[in-house]
């Protein structure tokens, strides 16, 4: 990447390319240099999935150990949480969700999906606990639509599976306030529940071990690593194994900046084909100002949102390399690049939506963990979730 080396002479397009590169890297490098994560190239063996080769996975913790134990037939599980402060999956979620789905399908793994309705509530992200419950159930519906195996998928909603708090208290004894304050920037005016929540999160990660699946992998965005460190630090003290972690890059929003709900720069899996194509057409590209210039100087694939999604989500390595070279040579126009992205994303989204519309209350109820006596199907119907 010579863009970084020629900063003084760089064009506007190149400046924006750097923005995207910064977004893609985010805190990832810091995890390796400051927080003890390992680079992916330290792994001698990896599963057969493009994410392990194309750079979407930036680093890991103990993935080698996890993979060896998995290959040795140990009972293994995935933990992958979501925050029910909002409901809809967006294309940013796909990095982790595609990895989860691959691991489940390839190795038959159970997946635990904690939905932190309690955190959403005490962090003032939602109005009340009922909103958290409804959001969580809608996410569960999306999880089924995404293609996870209902028989091996366990959604933990804290206000439903309240037994999680026993495990949270168990490990909370080893999580003191210094650790919380060193990890989070919570303030005195924040709820005491927010300060306690990291213990609940540790419990989420340790839950499969309580149920006999001691080899656990947690695929996350690189920016979520601090949460996992607390769990890893406390695990062994209470008789648990440390979970392994895969860190994926944080893909940019449509404007090339960090994706965020407030900026409205994401694509949601519930949007129509028309909306999606329109958004992609308006997305930030690495193309030149005119077709002539583009053909003459070539595009900048690094700065092209559509190219990045194609590269990281949809193409094999050699396909991505070829596309990179053709774009850089000006042989492919940015409109064509956008169409390629849309043509990959739209069928994916259409299939997701078809499944989503056919999910039943019974199916959702089946994947929600309860203390044993809650009639989830009735609640799902009452809240109009399915």
Provide the binding-site residues for a copy of itself, judged by CB under 8 A. 118, 121-122, 124, 129, 158-159, 162-166, 168-170, 172-181, 186-193, 195-196, 198-199, 371-374
Q: Which is nearer to a copy of itself, 129 or 353 (CB)?
A: 129
Strands 57-61 and 38-39: antiparallel
Residue 144 C-beta: closest distance to a copy of itself, Å: 25
- For a copy of itself, the closer of residues 186 and 348 by Cβ is 186
Contact by Cβ (8 Å): 183, 230 = yes
CB closer to a copy of itself out of 262 and 373: 373
CA distances from 21 to 25, 251, 312 (A): 6, 9, 13
Residue number with CB closer to a copy of itself (193 or 384): 193
Give the end-to-end CA distance of the chain in Å, rounded to a whole number.
Answer: 49
The minimum distance between CB 202 and a copy of itself, in angstroms, equals 10
Say which DSSP state 219 is in. E
Tokens representing residue 319 in the block: 């396909």
Residue closer to a copy of itself by CB (options 122, 280) is: 122
Residue 313 DSSP symbol: I
Strand partners, 180: none
Shortest CB 164 distance to a copy of itself, Å:
8
Q: Which of 128, 46, 126 is nearest to 86 (CA)?
A: 126
Smaller CB separation from a copy of itself, 184 or 297: 184
Q: Please say which residue, 7 or 182, places its beta carbon nearer to a copy of itself.
A: 182
Closest Cα partner for 314 from 56, 24, 22?
56
Distance in Å, CB of 322 to a copy of itself, minimum: 52
Dihedral class, residue 298 (left if φ above 0, else alpha if ψ from -120 to 50, else beta): left
User: From the CB of 235, what's the least distance to a copy of itself, in Å?
Assistant: 16
- The closest of 240, 376, 370, 255 to 306, measured between CA atoms, is 255
Minimum distance between the CB of residue 239 and a copy of itself, rounded to whole angstroms?
11
Give the Cα separation of 358 and 136 in Å (integer).
18
Alpha-carbon gap, residue 289 to 60, rounded angstroms: 40
CA 69, CA 246: separation in Å to the nearest integer? Answer: 16
* Cα–Cα distance, 6 to 214 (Å, whole number): 49
From the CB of 154, what's the least distance to a copy of itself, in Å? 17
Q: Which two structure tokens, joined as six digits, stand for 50?
A: 């493009």
Closer to a copy of itself by Cβ: residue 21 or 180? 180
Of 33 and 373, nearer to a copy of itself (C-beta) is: 373
Least distance to a copy of itself from the beta carbon of 186, Å?
7
Give the separation between CA 28 and CA 249, rounded to whole angstroms.
7
If we measure between CA atoms, which residue out of 210, 183, 211, 209 comes closest to residue 197? Answer: 183
Rounded to the nearest whole angstrom, what is the least distance from the CB of residue 124 to a copy of itself in the complex? 7
């Amino acid at each position: 990447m010579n863009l970084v080396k020629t900063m003084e002479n760089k064009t506007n397009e190149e400046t924006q390319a750097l923005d995207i590169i910064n977004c893609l890297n985010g805190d990832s490098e810091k995890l390796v240099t400051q927080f003890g994560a390992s680079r992916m190239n330290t792994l001698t063996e990896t599963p057969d999935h493009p994410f392990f080769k194309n750079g979407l996975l930036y680093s890991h913790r103990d993935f080698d150990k996890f993979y060896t134990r998995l290959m040795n037939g140990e009972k293994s599980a995935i933990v992958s949480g979501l925050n029910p402060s909002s409901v809809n999956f967006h294309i940013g979620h796909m990095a982790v969700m595609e990895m989860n789905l691959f691991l489940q399908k390839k190795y038959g793994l159970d997946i635990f999906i904690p939905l932190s309705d309690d955190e959403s509530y005490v962090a003032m992200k939602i109005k009340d606990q009922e909103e958290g419950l409804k959001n969580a159930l809608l996410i569960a519906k999306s999880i089924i639509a995404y293609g996870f195996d209902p028989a091996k998928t366990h959604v933990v909603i804290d206000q439903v599976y309240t037994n999680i708090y026993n495990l949270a208290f168990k490990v909370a004894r080893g999580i003191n306030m210094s650790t919380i304050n060193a990890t989070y920037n919570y303030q005195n005016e924040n709820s005491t529940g927010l300060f306690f929540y990291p213990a609940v999160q540790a419990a989420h990660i340790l839950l499969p071990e309580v149920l006999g699946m001691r080899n656990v992998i947690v695929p996350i965005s690189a920016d979520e690593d601090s949460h996992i460190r607390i769990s890893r630090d406390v695990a062994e003290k209470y008789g648990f194994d440390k979970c392994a972690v895969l860190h994926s890059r944080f893909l940019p929003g449509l404007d090339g900046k960090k994706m965020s709900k407030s900026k409205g720069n994401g694509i949601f899996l519930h949007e129509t084909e028309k909306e999606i194509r329109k958004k992609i057409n308006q997305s930030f590209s690495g193309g030149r100002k005119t077709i002539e210039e583009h053909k003459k100087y070539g595009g900048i694939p690094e700065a092209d949102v559509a190219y990045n999604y194609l590269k990281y989500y949809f193409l094999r390595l050699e396909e991505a390399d070829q596309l990179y070279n053709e774009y850089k040579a000006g042989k492919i126009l940015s409109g064509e690049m956008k169409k390629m992205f849309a043509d990959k994303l739209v069928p994916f989204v259409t299939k997701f939506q078809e499944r989503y519309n056919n999910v039943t209350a019974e199916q959702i109820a089946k994947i929600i963990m309860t203390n044993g006596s809650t009639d989830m199907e009735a609640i799902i119907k009452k809240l109009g979730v399915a």
